[in-house]
């Protein structure tokens, strides 16, 4: 039974990924400092270590657990926080990732799956949908830190022979996304609408995103792990542009709320329009999105209602 260490495994994407790995017969170790992850998300069949990826103690944890594979999901993910405090963002996303890669190098990890951001590393797209050959030009510190860590993953592969799969996600949503957090428009708006509160749309709401259901993203993580012999970057998204206004209207309908959203100033560092071309992942990982936005929003609303 192969052992996989998942950083951020008590978080939104991480816990869904852990559940799928266990379902497929993997032995799973979760590393999470619970700063944004939740103990309620933890699968009891996984071994859990409360630890920060920046900690010097991470190496001894690797020595004890001896994982063969790593899925690296722990990160600072808030664009606004990255703009307000770029050093904090880089400390986690760059230095934390390097610390993790050093642990992989020292302890014989075969492969790392790294979660990057298709919504942030490309910057304002020159064309949509964006493919992996599109130029990289992040416009916020978060995008810069995620891309910097990508390059470190590639360097460690070249220098130390660690295989990798870099997945550039679209805007991931679904069950277990924090409805009280600052990032994740679907969960945040659902939480507000459930309590009869008016969601606040930053800007005019015409900005578009590529919304991808968390179950599909967890599957991409698994397929990226299992694809042997190829180290590559893949976009993971639906290929469909959906505006924040459209998503808000669909959520209001799904919740059955009778409110009008408010509007506020746009967020600095956020792109105006983007969607991702994920055909390469389809060809090489046999991955494709299976949950459409309407179904995914329904599942998310049900989960928030029961949480």
- The rounded distance, in Å, linking the Cα atoms of 194 and 213 is 20
The answer to whether residue 219 sits within a structural domain is yes
According to DSSP, the residues that pair with 5 across neighbouring strands are: 29, 70
103: containing domain: 3-174+211-238+276-290
Query: Are 138 and 204 spatial neighbours (Cβ–Cβ below 8 Å)?
Result: no
Residue 183, pLDDT score: 60
Please identify which residue in the block is written with the tokens 């996600």.
Answer: 169
Among 138, 278, 298, 163, smallest CA distance to 217 is for 278
Q: Of 26, 69, 122, 142, which is the active-site residue?
A: 142
Taking only the tens place, the pLDDT of each residue in 97-143 is 999 999 999 999 999 999 999 999 999 999 999 999 999 999 999 99
Would you say residue 66 lies in a domain?
Answer: yes
Kindly state the average pLDDT of the residues 16-20: 98
Instruction: Assess whether pLDDT exceeds 90 at residue 150.
Output: yes
**Residue 130 located in a structural domain:** yes
Q: In the predicted model, is pLDDT for residue 307 greater than 70? A: no
**Does 198 map to a domain?**
no
Alpha helix (H) residue ranges in 120-242: 141-160, 185-194, 214-226
pLDDT in tens, 244-282: 999 999 999 999 999 999 999 988 888 999 999 999 999
Amino acid 71: pLDDT: 99
**Cβ count near 33 (within 10 Å):** 18
CA 70/CA 111 separation, integer angstroms: 6
Any idea what the CATH number is for the domain that residue 133 is in? Answer: 3.40.50.720
Is 183 within the bounds of a domain? no
189 part of a folded domain = no
Question: DSSP assignment, residue 276?
Answer: B
> Is 187 a member of any domain?
no
Whether 206 is in a domain gets the answer no
Predicted confidence band of residue 68 (pLDDT cuts 50, 70, 90): very high
Q: For the chain, how many structural domains are there in total?
A: 1
127 carries an active-site annotation: no
Compute how many other C-beta atoms are within 10 angstroms of the C-beta atom of residue 163: 18
Q: Please enumerate in sequence order all residues whose Cβ is within 8 A of that of 12, keeping only pairs 6 or more positions apart, or say none.
A: 41, 172, 174, 176, 177, 178, 184, 214
The pTM assigned to this predicted structure is 0.96
């Amino acid at each position: 039974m192969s052992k996989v260490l998942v950083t951020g495994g008590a978080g939104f994407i991480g816990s869904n990924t852990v559940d799928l790995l266990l379902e497929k017969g993997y032995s799973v170790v979760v590393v999470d400092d619970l700063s944004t992850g939740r103990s309620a998300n933890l699968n009891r069949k996984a071994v859990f270590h409360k630890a920060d990826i920046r900690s010097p103690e991470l190496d001894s944890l690797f020595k004890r657990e001896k994982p063969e594979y790593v899925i690296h999901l722990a990160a600072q993910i808030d664009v606004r926080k990255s703009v307000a405090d770029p050093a904090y963002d880089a400390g986690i996303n760059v230095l934390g990732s390097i610390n993790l890669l050093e642990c992989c190098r020292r302890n014989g990890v075969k492969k790392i799956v790294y979660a990057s951001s298709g919504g942030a590393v490309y910057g304002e797209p020159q064309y949509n949908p964006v493919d992996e050959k599109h130029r990289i030009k992040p416009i916020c510190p978060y995008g810069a830190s995620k891309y910097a860590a990508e390059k470190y993953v590639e360097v460690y592969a070249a220098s130390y022979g660690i295989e990798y799969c870099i997945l550039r996600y679209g805007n991931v949503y679904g069950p277990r996304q924090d409805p009280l957090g600052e990032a994740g428009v679907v969960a945040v708006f659902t939480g507000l609408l459930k309590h009869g509160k008016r969601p606040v749309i930053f800007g005019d709401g015409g900005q578009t995103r590529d919304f991808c259901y968390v179950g599909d993203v967890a599957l991409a993580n698994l397929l990226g792990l299992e694809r042997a012999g190829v180290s590559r970057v893949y976009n993971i998204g639906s290929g469909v542009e959906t505006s924040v206004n459209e998503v808000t209207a669909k959520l209001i309908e799904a919740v059955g709320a009778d409110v009008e959203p408010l509007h506020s100033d746009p967020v600095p560092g956020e792109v105006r329009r983007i969607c991702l071309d994920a055909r390469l992942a389809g060809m090489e990982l046999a991955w494709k999105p299976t949950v459409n936005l309407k179904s995914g929003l329904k599942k998310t609303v049900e989960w928030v209602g029961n949480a």
